[in-house]
Structure 1
Amino acid sequence: MDPQLSPIVFTHPFKSETWKHTLLFSFQSLGVLYGQLSAAPLYVFGTVPPKDFVSDETAYGLFSFIFWTMTIISLLKYALIVLRADDDGEGGTFALYSILCRHAKVGLLPNDRSANEVMNYEAGSPFKVKVESRARRAIAKHKSSHYLMLFLALFGSCMAIGDGVLTPALSVLSASSGFGRSLSHIKFSSRESEDKKISKALKEYVPVPVACAILVCLFMLQHYGTHKIGFIFAPIVIIWLLFISGVGSEAMFAGLGHFSKKSIKITFICLIYPVLVLCYAGQASYISKNMHVEDFNHLGESVPGHLRHVFVALSLLASAVGSQATITASFSIINQCLALDCFPRVKVIHTSDKIHGQVYIPDINWLLMVLCLSVTIGFHDIMKIGSVTGLAVVSGMLVTTCLMSLVIALYWEKNLLESVCFLIFFGFVEALYVSACLLNIHKGAWYLVVLFVLSFTVMLAWHYGTMKKYEFDLQNKVPTEWLTDFSPGLGVSRVPGIGFIYTDIVTGIPAFFSHFITNLPAFHQVLIFVSFKSLPVPYVHPSRRYLIGRVGPREYKIYRCVVRYGYRDHIRDTDDFEEQIIRSIGEFISLEENDFESLTSPEGRMIVVGKPSIEGNALVPLDETQLHHGPEIFPNDENQRSPPGEISERGCHPVKIKKVRFMLPPESPNMRVSVREELQELIDARESGTAYVLGQSHLVVRDGSNFLKRFLIMTYTFCDKNCREPPVALKIPHAALVEVGMVYTI
């Protein structure tokens, strides 16, 4: 294959950001990203056991520790250095990993030479691999370094997900305990002994049910999306910050895709950092002078009595807002893992048509809610949950430091000494934090270990199974000549209509389709092989999305369409996807008459085709609304889709569905006769109907394989059977779906 490719342009919605947009994103980031930082004073001092405050100097020592942590880690490392290593506007552990995959060739998914040409490294691309350095050659040579980077990326992702489970439970339970203490000050009887019993009961039993109720409400709000939640929560955070006037995690970097780095940096440096320093300083001062007061290390005790009820209400709201940052970061991380084949298929809803990267994942949302509730009910202790959360946060920070040091050397191409200094300076500080957190493994940190083992196993097994399936497909594909030259001798007949063949390979004929033809010798008059290829970039511009080429001679009417997308694009779930592919084929046919080399290339010369315009240059779409008796198969609102595997419960009442038909453009008489005839054949085939052929894989482990391989394949098979089905993800109507089962011996 010799694709005709000009440089790909990857664009991001923040590239042309104005000051108006910066201020808008800064305002929204208060409600999404910095809610966690602003809610941290609720539990930072509260997670320290009262017995550890041996003197007033202890409070000042803790404040010094908090101040330098915020300054070194949050301000210096993240705000000033790590935010600069964005992946075209995207942040997070997998954003750093995708940069390394692109610039150091550390990706583990196997590709043949043709697939590499199609997917990534075209001449003139802004993401073309740079000149080989000694470090890059050493990393590319040793496969163990590739596995190490994948491990770091998966480990950091698991820690971010763990943070998304633990931080909401910690912050909300902290605020709810303040609510319980506030109720305990109320006099319920004239007898002091009875009041003490009631007060004690309120402190012990009120926080957990209140926290659970708030968490349920919080997770039920997630489907509104980052844009709306940011506007709802931002005023709460501003009022809360002004009220307390007084420590960060991965959420600031992982949530970069939802906002611009300029807005995040401005908000942190100008508002969040100074306000939190004042808050912690004031709280340390209060503790040093009031160590005789009950619950002196909780923020609520330092609030004057006449403002305590206001504090309780604001703290409950701020804790819910603070939880939003880690939940949003979890959605972002999992969406990136999905695109890079490191997480089972789940439904991803893009909550904004204008701003890419703002996603909501229903299945993960409810799973996080259940885990948060289990932590809150199971531990019901701020100190235990705090020790677990601390381990998750600092472990994620250490992973970011390791990957960032590689980005400095391999992507920024700085001196190796600078990379090593970054790793040693920040890595040493964070390694000390990790070792301190590990001392509390018996106090609750074991929960994070269990959560990590489960999530890491699922991610690793899915990546391993995907990799082995792709290797099998590459090894067992058949040449295109088998279909074009030998199929007539096998008595294969052509039937009316269009056949879409979905496959992972971009050259040759997939084994499952040759298996299908051997047993059922017939295929459609127009055949389109469709491949989705995820690039290690956030976005692929619509004008560079489709690669179209021929399979075999022109008279066979067999085409290949490679759909390229970034880990923030959402192209599989659009309702007009079939229409876009057919129109792209039409554009290819019209463009091909000026590309004579494509007519003589044996595998078919591929041409870049962008998303067709509304008017269309080759095929003009005509929308028709028809009455359909039965369940609605194609819902029109992208953000109101049915849950995975379900069909709308509207019964068999007649519903209106949109069907797109095509016609030749008005200037068609001026086209070459062969082009016009081929376009008309494409239109006629569309009118005859469409069928979709997918391979259904059944993985079987080869005899004599070791236990680890068997366990990973078994886990992959279990996840594959219980996750979202590909036909649903591709919006394929069941009546037009043909699944071809094949046994993959791994």
Structure 2
Amino acid sequence: MSTQNPPVQAVAGTHGNGNVGLAGLMVGAVGVVFGDIGTSPLYTLKEAFSPHYGLTANHDTVLGILSLVFWALTIVVTLKYVTIIMRADNEGEGGIMALMALAQRTLSLGSRPAFAVGIVGILGASLFFGDGVITPAISVLSAIEGLGVVAPGLHHWIVPLTVIVLLALFMAQRFGTASVGKVFGPVMVLWFVVLATIGVANILHAPQVLQAMNPAWAARFFVVHHWHGIFILGAVVLAVTGGEALYTDMGHFGAKPIRRAWYFFVLPALMLNYLGQGALVLEDPAAIRNPFYIGVPEWGRWPMLVLATAATVIASQAVITGAYSIARQAMQLGYIPRMRIVHTSRETIGQIYVPAVNWFLMVLVLALVLSFRTSSNLAVVYGISVSLTMFIDTLLLVLVARKLWPRQRWWVLPLCLLFISIESAFVVANGGKLMQGGWFPVVLGIVLFTLLRTWRRGRALLYAELRKEGIQIDSFLPGLMLAPPVRVPGTAIFLVAQQGMVPQALLHNLKHNKVLHERNVFLTVETLSVPYAPHDRRMAIDPIGEDFYRIVLRFGFMETPDVPLALMRSCDRSDVSFDPMDTTYFASRENVVAGRHRGMPIWRDRLFAIMHRNAASATGFFRIPGNRLVELGAQVEI
């Protein structure tokens, strides 16, 4: 699962990596970016030889599986994500939403292809989230399953301990991760060093396992097992889950530190451990029941259990904080209702806590642990959604390379055909797991996609209704000034979702209070398709006479919009200034009613009405102080 909330990040109001050195950024990246993919050795090889696939742990099969793992990591993660797709940065940011925004730039605004790209991108994000929910469950559960090797008599404590660890993790989120984040990097560096060390120790007992890096063994596997050998890719894909996180976190650490950490540290450590597990199985086929822990010397199994649990907690933390950041992006882009966001750090802008997302994740993760109870059962569920997401990433990459990379497309586009063929095979292989539980992340992804699309479409219908019943400012003001109402001191700022329309709050104020402030501002907040709004585009002021102003404030999709602060800073550089203590904000809050034969199907209208009713107010989201706010309501049928 992706993460966008690392311990190393820009200070509020800035974007970039400041004075943090390359080595520091690499350690930070190891602590956050590689948590998911770095804990995959706990369960990948064990799952490949589970009864589900019916394979025998003989010499040729072990080398064939290891060869598939090596080349999956090389082609999908190293070549696709690290080498190519990380070039597709959106103002320095990565991830499927940033890639979607880049792909849409290659198409005409409002065109059907641009709309289709938006649909595909949101579907990919929804599916990715659906599979990402499984990461904390399978990671922590697989680590604590080491009890079955370390102390078999404590086997019955595996599920309760997993639940306790995950509960503690989710309950601690409200305190923020700034302090514990400082130890993420060193702990994960130790984790990868230990992975490599144990791998080398086991390889020395059966050095012939190094032959697995020859792709001929992967080809031989399919020759021996014929067409149904493709289903083993449902286990191989477990080795590359988390690969998109390398791209997603590019904006926080930069491409160079992530690439260096992957090429020279993480990838070698992972492959040495996988090869070491394979060597152990070649020497003792019975070790396949848990090759990760059995490969550790007896004296080191308890410390390894502790270290593995810490590493999986860090990987889970990355998933959780990543979900917060994705939720914030989706709010900014208008795909989900506004939710309460709590800032847990005064120094780091990315340290946020979204209670609704936290509790939603907690319920799903605990339900998965209690329902499936073993990492092998969860591994059957894992993979299908992330395979579809990787496939969608490649489709978006094709658009970006074809239009935006004229010098590189001659070699990138042919490689995209290779990626598509491999990821199609992953999708087919994981499709075989649908009836065994693989339906869960797909159904969850579809539900999330439906919610996102319903909110987006519902907002468009709501604005259309308001526009239909609204009055244009340009025609309203001249008439109002023919018989102006009494003007009172101070500044009134009216929040307007659509530029050019008279806000309902102003009409209500005139109707009921029969007064007009001496200065009136129609304020619209826009979200740009870039992570951070440039200073020269932050605010646009348009005086329209009689002390009326139109103001547009712009924020990037990675920013938390603070309207009063942005107004104060931007107006200090212009001819207009506002006294915060002499300013009143007016906002209208619509009560949405579902109407038959209008807009969406009635069930989606009702769903949107429920979502709208439970959304956090725009004023809270924009950090407008409650003691300077007046909210007025209106009923709208869609």
TM-score by length of 2: 0.84
* Cross-structure match for 2:574: 588
Q: Quick one: distance in 2 between partners of 1:410 and 1:217?
A: 47
Q: Quick one: distance in 2 between partners of 1:323 and 1:585?
A: 42
Q: Which residue identity lines up with residue 564 of structure 2 in the other structure?
A: E
Quote the sequence identity (%). Answer: 27
* Cross-structure match for 1:729: 621
Residue 378 of structure 2 is aligned to residue 385 of structure 1 = yes
1:156-555 → structure 2 map (5 Å cutoff): 156-184=124-152, 199=153, 202-203=154-155, 205-223=156-174, 228-245=179-196, 246=199, 247-248=239-240, 249=242, 250-293=244-287, 296-350=289-343, 357-413=350-406, 420-489=413-482, 492-511=485-504, 513-514=506-507, 516-518=509-511, 520-551=513-544, 553=545
SS at 2:550's partner residue? strand
SS at 1:527's partner residue? strand
Q: Which residue identity lines up with residue 101 of structure 2 in the other structure?
A: S
* Cross-structure match for 1:23: 23
SS at 2:92's partner residue? coil
- Taking structure 1 as reference, are residues 712 and 62 closer, same or farther at Cα in structure 2, changes over 3 Å only? same
Q: Quick one: distance in 2 between partners of 1:372 and 1:281?
A: 31
Q: Which residue identity lines up with residue 247 of structure 2 in the other structure?
A: F
- Which of the numbers 631, 634, 638 marks the counterpart of 1:742? 634
- Taking structure 1 as reference, are residues 420 and 453 closer, same or farther at Cα in structure 2, changes over 3 Å only? same
* Cross-structure match for 1:694: 587
Q: Quick one: distance in 2 between partners of 1:500 and 1:290?
A: 74
1:542 is displaced (CA, Å) by 3.7
Specify the structure having the higher radius of gyration (Cα). 1
SS at 1:433's partner residue? helix
Q: CA RMSD in A?
A: 2.7
* Cross-structure match for 1:45: 45
- Taking structure 1 as reference, are residues 421 and 579 closer, same or farther at Cα in structure 2, changes over 3 Å only? closer
Q: Quick one: distance in 2 between partners of 1:384 and 1:49?
A: 13
1:441 is displaced (CA, Å) by 0.8
SS at 1:532's partner residue? strand
SS at 1:589's partner residue? coil
Q: Quick one: distance in 2 between partners of 1:105 and 1:213?
A: 51
1:80 is displaced (CA, Å) by 0.4
Residue 564 of structure 2 is aligned to residue 578 of structure 1 = yes
Higher helix share: 2
- Taking structure 1 as reference, are residues 75 and 12 closer, same or farther at Cα in structure 2, changes over 3 Å only? farther
Cα shift readout 1:686-740 (whole Å, capped 9, x = no counterpart): 66x443221222334454247x532322222111212322232234454543333
1:91 is displaced (CA, Å) by 1.1
Q: Quick one: distance in 2 between partners of 1:261 and 1:355?
A: 20
1:83 is displaced (CA, Å) by 1.0
1:389 is displaced (CA, Å) by 2.0
* Cross-structure match for 2:233: none
* Cross-structure match for 1:564: 554
Report if aligned partners of 2:149, 2:294 keep a CA contact under 8 Å in 1: no
Report if aligned partners of 1:87, 1:99 keep a CA contact under 8 Å in 2: yes
* Cross-structure match for 2:231: none
Q: Which residue identity lines up with residue 59 of structure 2 in the other structure?
A: D
Which sits farther off after the overlay, 68-77 or 459-468?
459-468
Cα shift readout 1:426-479 (whole Å, capped 9, x = no counterpart): 011011101111111111112112311221121111111222233344444423
Cα shift readout 1:640-675 (whole Å, capped 9, x = no counterpart): xxxxxxxxxxxxxxxxxxxxxxxxxxxxxxxxxxxx
Q: Quick one: distance in 2 between partners of 1:357 and 1:735?
A: 27
1:378 is displaced (CA, Å) by 1.1
1:708-727 → structure 2 map (5 Å cutoff): 708-727=600-619
* Cross-structure match for 2:79: 76
Q: Which residue identity lines up with residue 243 of structure 1 in the other structure?
A: V
Q: Quick one: distance in 1 between partners of 2:635 and 2:178?
A: 45
- Taking structure 1 as reference, are residues 584 and 290 closer, same or farther at Cα in structure 2, changes over 3 Å only? closer
* Cross-structure match for 2:32: 32
- Which of the numbers 60, 65, 89 marks the counterpart of 1:62? 65
Report if aligned partners of 1:258, 1:356 keep a CA contact under 8 Å in 2: no
Residue 117 of structure 2 is aligned to residue 153 of structure 1 = no
Report if aligned partners of 2:593, 2:609 keep a CA contact under 8 Å in 1: no
Report if aligned partners of 2:494, 2:586 keep a CA contact under 8 Å in 1: yes
Q: Quick one: distance in 1 between partners of 2:360 and 2:29?
A: 25
Q: Which residue identity lines up with residue 32 of structure 1 in the other structure?
A: V
Report if aligned partners of 2:104, 2:114 keep a CA contact under 8 Å in 1: no
| Higher RCO (CA 8 Å, separation ≥ 6 residues) | 2
Report if aligned partners of 1:166, 1:372 keep a CA contact under 8 Å in 2: yes
SS at 1:567's partner residue? coil
* Cross-structure match for 2:228: none
1:352 is displaced (CA, Å) by 5.7
- Taking structure 1 as reference, are residues 547 and 265 closer, same or farther at Cα in structure 2, changes over 3 Å only? same
1:340 is displaced (CA, Å) by 0.7
Report if aligned partners of 1:517, 1:523 keep a CA contact under 8 Å in 2: yes
Q: Which residue identity lines up with residue 55 of structure 2 in the other structure?
A: F
Report if aligned partners of 2:454, 2:604 keep a CA contact under 8 Å in 1: yes
- Taking structure 1 as reference, are residues 740 and 490 closer, same or farther at Cα in structure 2, changes over 3 Å only? farther
Report if aligned partners of 1:464, 1:712 keep a CA contact under 8 Å in 2: no
Q: Quick one: distance in 1 between partners of 2:81 and 2:13?
A: 21
1:178 is displaced (CA, Å) by 0.8
* Cross-structure match for 2:217: none
Cα shift readout 1:378-411 (whole Å, capped 9, x = no counterpart): 1112122112221132222111111111111233
Q: Quick one: distance in 2 between partners of 1:525 and 1:547?
A: 21
Report if aligned partners of 2:518, 2:547 keep a CA contact under 8 Å in 1: yes
Runs of 5+ unmatched residues, structure 2: 1-11, 200-238
Report if aligned partners of 1:32, 1:229 keep a CA contact under 8 Å in 2: no
Q: Quick one: distance in 1 between partners of 2:114 and 2:158?
A: 46
- Taking structure 1 as reference, are residues 309 and 425 closer, same or farther at Cα in structure 2, changes over 3 Å only? same
Which sits farther off after the overlay, 306-315 or 370-379?
306-315
Cα shift readout 1:16-75 (whole Å, capped 9, x = no counterpart): 766x52221111111111122221111112223444331232221111111010000010
1:348 is displaced (CA, Å) by 3.1
Residue 99 of structure 2 is aligned to residue 96 of structure 1 = yes
Which sits farther off after the overlay, 456-465 or 466-475?
466-475
Runs of 5+ unmatched residues, structure 1: 1-10, 109-139, 185-198, 591-618, 620-681
Q: Quick one: distance in 2 between partners of 1:150 and 1:497?
A: 43
- Taking structure 1 as reference, are residues 413 and 352 closer, same or farther at Cα in structure 2, changes over 3 Å only? farther
